[in-house]
Amino acid sequence: MINISAKLEEALNRTLIKVFPKENRSSKTASILKGSNLVPASKPEFGDFQINCALSLAKEIKQSPRVIAKQIADQLQNDNEFIKICNPPLIAGPGFINLSINSKTLISEIHFRLNDKRLGVPLKQFSRKKTGEGKINNRVIIDFSSPNIAKEMHVGHLRSTIIGDSLARVLEFCGYEVLRLNHVGDWGTQFGMLITHLKEVVPEALHTKDVVEISDLVNFYRKAKKRFDEDKTFQSKSRSEVVNLQAGDQDSLIAWQLLCNQSRKEFQKIYDRLDIKLTERGESFYNKFLVDVINDLKIKNLLINDQGAQCIFLNGLVGKDGKPQPIIIQKSDGGFNYATTDLAAIKYRLTPPPHGDGAFRLIYVTDAGQASHFYGVFQIAKLANWIPAHCQIEHVPFGLVQGEDGKKLKTRSGETIKLVDLLDEAIQRARKDLKDRLKNESRCENESFIDQVSNTVGIAAIKYADLSQNRVSNYQFSFDKMLSLQGNTAPYLLYALVRIAGISRKGGDLNKSCNNFQFNEPQEWILIRKILHFDSIVAEVEKELLPNRLCGYLFELSQIFNRFYDQVPILKASEPSRTSRLALCSITADTLKLGMSLLGIPTLERM
């Protein structure tokens, strides 16, 4: 109800100026009235909105909260815009003012949204004022997924990938230009190890395509690491190979590119299954900027030489021993750390084109365990004055995926679960559940239908089970719970859509327009009010970067629709109730589909 809320806020501000003229306000009164005094009602029985400032003002102006509330309520009823939107305000408790939107306004909003593909969500407008070399723009960079080359994606990559994707979808829908970056680990000491092993074990791979598959790469990594740990000669060769790679040796570059390409092919299979779109820009991209980072930090006197390493000591950053903990920017041997690469990335991403991305907001979606790392990197970027005043950078942390025993999710042998295996099992379980249900219902469906539904439900269940949790918390992974048709699950939401599609198949015209909506049942008004909150929920996710807010809303919408469906006749209702209720079915389906698409969750109309 963003549009309605804005109009009510304007009416309330006009009212407060008349009841409390600016020239008569104390500084404390002015401070209270300056804030947002209109809030959503805490419970449905209190209406749609509440005004609570009377309680805060009472002590300051030495009047009873109810007396103050009455003055505000009486003046609101003299505001022409207010009385067009709201029923008369009601004073409750010690001095709360409860507001209920009138039926005419609610019906008008339903009419509007039936013809609005954005369902009331405003498209952001951005200023183009000059700021230094460039312009303030609407570009946001979201750094997410970020697997390591020569390793398979595991369950730990799931959260970053789907949380980052859902945030990208929401911000894109709101009007931002989003650059989705996959900061893959494609550089560093491990490549010297891998290239040396590759040259010795499969030298023909340097000149023959597709000799090495991803499973080989994973085994290569393990064998190369074992050799590196145990064989000093191999260690020496690997370090030399790193130097060769950094110097641009042709064979080393070919081997490095082969490793990257083979990994990239397998990563893309996962991204395709999850419908994830990313622009790969690995650590190697920033190599050419690392020396500039060091030089800039030196010029600004931020670096301290500590036993040959170039470090920065930040206030409040201490180790387990309580001593100040350095952030190493350049190692004593001249090498660089992850912090250096991340600093180069921040600087490049915030630098205006043509020398950088020119973003105004950077979002990093990683596990909570990296919070300390990003705190340090962000503080250094601020000290170096690389973050313009109009820009912001933020870490979006998430918790662990746990098994039902509350421990970190692993295989029975103790290994990290491969993401591809997790997706396969979800689809297989969805397929079994579907076949069991078809058998119980004596329904006969072809294999194409079974494949489509199994894949859709399996992927939807995996995504929704994760996104419906507060990302900051750990969550317990359970196939049984996530595939259930009951509770806060993707199948439950999908079932609401299937019900609406069923109404259409039975002859209900969900596209029929009507200029004379009539709603008489309580369940109709409850559904209408929930539908109209969609825009404010999207705005919350845009601001707070918490996809679970949207999941919670869609679940509640599905619950309310199902009660409406069960309790109120639709196809058998007489006109104009029949068309009015079909319109509610139509806009409910549109809201569920749009909401789930913003989460990156696929939908279907039969299951």
Per-block mean pLDDT, blocks of 10 residues, the chain (607 long): 92 91 82 81 91 87 91 95 96 94 96 94 73 65 93 87 98 97 89 90 79 71 91 92 85 89 90 96 93 95 92 84 85 86 97 94 96 94 94 95 81 76 94 93 91 96 95 89 92 96 87 82 97 97 97 98 96 93 96 98 93
Give me 400's structure tokens: 């662990």
Q: Is residue 562 part of a domain?
A: yes
Cα–Cα nearest to 271, from 365, 157, 362: 157
Q: Which of 72, 101, 130 is the last residue of a domain?
A: 101
Which residue has tokens 């570009």?
A: 139
Please give the C-alpha separations between residue 118 and each of 3, 61, 534, 599, in angstroms, as whole numbers. Answer: 13, 44, 10, 15
User: Is residue 341 in some structural domain?
Assistant: no
Whether residue 76 is contained in a domain is answered as yes
Which of 84, 101, 118 terminates a domain? The answer is 101
- Name the domain count of the chain: 2
**pLDDT at residue 413, as a whole number:** 64
The confidence score (pLDDT) of residue 418 equals 86
Domain boundary among 68, 101, 134: 101
Within-domain flag for 481: yes
Which residue range forms the structural domain that includes residue 449?
419-598
b/e sequence 402-440, b meaning 16+ C-beta within 10 Å: beeeeeebeeeeeeebbbbebbeebbebbbebbeeeeee
In this structure, are strands 361-367 and 139-143 parallel, antiparallel, or unpaired?
parallel
CATH number of the domain within which 52 lies:
3.30.1360.70
In a domain, 559, yes or no: yes
Exposure string of 226-265, with b = 16+ CB inside 10 Å and e = fewer, is ebbeeeeebbebbbebbebbeeeeeebebbbebbbebbbe
| 522 in any annotated domain | yes
Domain membership of residue 229 (yes or no) is no
Cα separation, 288 vs 285, in Å, equals 7
Res 133: pLDDT = 45
**274 inside domain:** no
Name the maximum alpha-carbon separation found in the chain: 88
